[in-house]
Structure formats: structure tokens, C-alpha cells
Structure 1
Amino acid sequence: MVDIKDPENTIVMETTKGQVVIQLLPDLAPQHVARIKELAREKFYDGIVFHRVIDGFMAQTGDPTGTGMGGSDKPDLKAEFSNTNHVRGTCSMARSQNPNSANSQFYICFEDAPWLNKQYTVWGQVIDGMDNVDKIKRGEPVRDPDSIVTMRVAADV
């Protein structure tokens, strides 16, 4: 198990492929980090599938409908774009073409994705378990997809 330095700003996500630990970045995206923690504490993400998984790019999740069209019942968030690059293990919010449309869907980058920089809100970085992210079943949409079993703030575990 990785040494968690800031449990209030760390997410422990159990997936069907194993545990993934994400360091939250509240200095970069305070509203998005607050939303992720709020939804995790409401157990919103439990059982949600990775509905869009593209080899060499990213694994996307966070849609309760599993279609890529859904979100939470909370209002969409205003963009918090930063100069932080999308690299392997970056956690960033999915959105529609409207920059201020992020809600609950997010993705984890398998590889560096520089074309996403300053276009999507980065809110976290995988610090342990990227090998498990790499095992997530690919597809667009994914047949018989992997899912988040539980997603918790480390301080609550």
C-alpha cells in the first residue's frame, strides 16, 4: 500500500481490476476536487462502469447511465483549466463541448495526451495502481465493462 500523506485529499478507488489510489489536487481545481469528494462520500461512483476505454489514451467513467451521456443531479461545474499537463495517470474531468459542463464523469490517462492540456480540468494524479488501470477492458462502448466497486476519500476509510 502506498504511503498516503494527505488522507483528506486522496481517493481510494477499488475497481474490478484492483485498487487505484489518486492524489487530489485542490490547489489546481478546488471546485472539482470538492465535487469528486462529495460524490465519493455519497457513494455515487460505486458500481459505475468504465464506459469508454481507448487503448493508448484513457479510461472514462462516472456516468450512472453507462452511456457517456449522464451525470449526477448536481449542477455542472465552471472550468478550472490549469497549466498541468495530461500525462500517464492524470485524472481529469470529461465534459461536452461547453467548457463549463463537467459534472461527474472523469477519465484517467493511460499515456501522455498533450492535446488535452488547458482544455480539460485536471483534478488528480494516480499515485498507486496504474498497473490496475492498464488492465481495464477496452472498448467504445465497452462490452461487459469493468467498473468502480467502491470509491472513497482515504480519510473516511
Structure 2
Amino acid sequence: MRQFLGLAVLAWMAAGGAAAQDAGGTPPPPPVPAPQAAMVAPEWRTVSSENLLVIDTTKGRILVELTPEVAPLHVERIKLLARRGFYDGVPWHRVIDWFMAQTGDPLGNGEGQSPYPDLKGEFTFRREATLPFAAVAEPAGARVGFLHSLPIQTQPDSAFAMTADGKVHAWGLYCPGVAGMARDEGNDTANSQFFLMRQAYPALDKRYSIWGMTVSGLDVVRNLKVGDGDNGMVGAESDRMTRVRIAAGIPEAERPSVQVLATDSPRFRALVETTRAARGADFSVCDVTLPVQVVN
């Protein structure tokens, strides 16, 4: 700003200000620079095509935003399997009302998986101060809010200065639409099967790795045929994933583009406060549904 003002004075002198003063006249005042426009956060955030999973099913399309900051190993596995067409034609073999819809088993009975090694559990993660976290509630000793479109809970920012790595403990919350990885009894046994939440189920928090959030198509998830292929209740009649791809791998003319309400925008704050007022003492981050715009 100082440099800008100095240039303005020089321009005034070159235009005759100094000559007018030498002639005995009253020098005109130097021009006042126009005030800079206030910076306003964009209302919408575009989801990266590299982190958008496109799941076409027999009931419609589901779009999931991947969160590599939370579970990098699981996101990498989902991307690998999607790019290789592993999920194409695979059934939703276990769908439980008021709970979740599970898929990713090519056998359709809960016993199958990919040929790749099992994954190490990623039930929690370390949050850096630079991550785009937006708090909606701050209970004692914690903060609850959103990382991108994913609801999470984390230690307060005051803990950054007290940790060896300058990061704080955090984990995803199993709200409706959250994408989690199925596993066997062992913590490090997730492979290819995953599930999408039909409703909130906090008992799963920090027990199953979360790798994404459904940003469009939760109605599709809730409309999948209910049944349990683990017990032979769905079988050939189950709904299926017809095609699963990462958006970046789809031709641009056919690729969906997704915009989610930016969590640093005034509209987001208004949404949170309106929801809080409506829910009262029952308010939860799971009550906040981020508006989404989808093209294609």
C-alpha cells in the first residue's frame, strides 16, 4: 500500500501539481486511491474430479467426495479398484434399513474381496491447522464440524501448540451418507467391501475407516433393495453397481461437476444457525445437510 500511495503522489506532481505550487497557487490535493473491494469467500466449492467417485447403480447415480486427508490408504484403494472396473456389476449384498448399504464383494455373499492385500485401519487421523475445518459446535475439550463435506470431531485448536507434530487428533463421524470400509474382526482387514450410511450410527465412530461422504444420491442409497446377502436374503434380486469410476477418468463432456456449499461462506453459517434453532438441544452436526449443485 505504501508503494501505491508513493506512485500516486509522483503522478500528481508530474501532472502539474509542483508547477502550480511554484506559481503561487494552491496545489490541488493528491488523488485519493479508490478503496479496495472487500474479499468475499465464494459461496460454492467445486469438488476435485480426482476426489469424486461416480457410482452408477440400478436405482440411480451416487456421487461420493473422497477425503484422502482422513484415510489415504483407503482412498487409494477405492481409486485403484474403480479405475480397474472391479466394482462394475457388483451387488449391494447387505442393505439394512435405518443403518447402511454394503457392497464391494464380487461374490455377493460377504465372503469376497479384491486380490490386493488388506489395509491397515485408519480410524482416526491427525488434523493440521491448514486443513479447511469449519466448526459447528464446540463441546468441552472438542470441536465438531466439517472437513470439506465430511462431518468430523477433533481436539480444539489450542492443542496444536502442545503436540510434538503440531497436529491434533480427529476422526470422521458416521452421519447419513458417510462412506466407510467394511472389515472382518481384525482392525487391519479392510479390503474392497464398503458401505454408505442410510442413517446416523455413532456406534461405528473410530471403529471402521471413513474415506468419503455422499454429496449426491443419498435418496438412491436409501432406495436400494433391503436384504442381507450374508444370509442369502438378496442374491440375484439385489440392486447392483452398474459402473463405478473416478470422475477424472470420465470424458470431460460426460463428467459430472459437483459444487458443495462452501463452509467458509456466510450462507453456511446461516444454515448452521437455522438448523441449530430448529433442533434445539438435539442439534447435531449430522443434522446439517450441505446444499449441492450437480451438472451432468
**TM-score, scaled relative to structure 2:** 0.52
**Do structure 1's residue 95 and structure 2's residue 137 form an aligned pair?**
no
**Do structure 1's residue 139 and structure 2's residue 227 form an aligned pair?**
yes
Give the root-mean-square deviation of aligned CA atoms.
Answer: 1.0
What SS does structure 1 have at the residue aligned with 2:228?
Answer: coil
Distance 1:130 1:50 in 2: 15
What SS does structure 2 have at the residue aligned with 1:67?
Answer: coil
Aligned partner of 1:35 in structure 2 is 77
The 5-angstrom pairing of residues 47-126 of structure 1 reads 47-82=89-124, 83-126=171-214
Larger proportion of helix: 2
Q: Which has the higher contact order (CA 8 A, sep 6+)?
A: 1
Distance 1:99 1:78 in 2: 7
What SS does structure 1 have at the residue aligned with 2:238?
Answer: coil
Structure 1, unaligned stretches of length 5 or more? none
Is the 1:4–1:10 Cα contact (8 Å) retained in structure 2? Answer: no
**TM-score, scaled relative to structure 1:** 0.96
CA deviation digits over 1:77-133, x for unaligned, max 9?
000012111110000000000010000000000001100000000001000011111
CA deviation digits over 1:15-54, x for unaligned, max 9?
0000000000100000100000000000000000000000
Deviation at 1:5, TM superposition (A): 2.1
Aligned partner of 2:63 in structure 1 is 21
- What percent identity do the matched residue pairs reach? 46
Q: What is the one-letter code of the residue matched to 2:243? A: T
Is the 2:47–2:65 Cα contact (8 Å) retained in structure 1? Answer: no
Q: Structure 1: which 4+ aligned runs deviate by more than 3 Å? A: none
Structure 2, unaligned stretches of length 5 or more? 1-44, 125-170, 251-296
Q: What is the one-letter code of the residue matched to 1:71? A: Q
Q: How many residue pairs align between the two structures?
A: 155
Distance 1:147 1:4 in 2: 28
Q: What is the one-letter code of the residue matched to 2:183? A: R
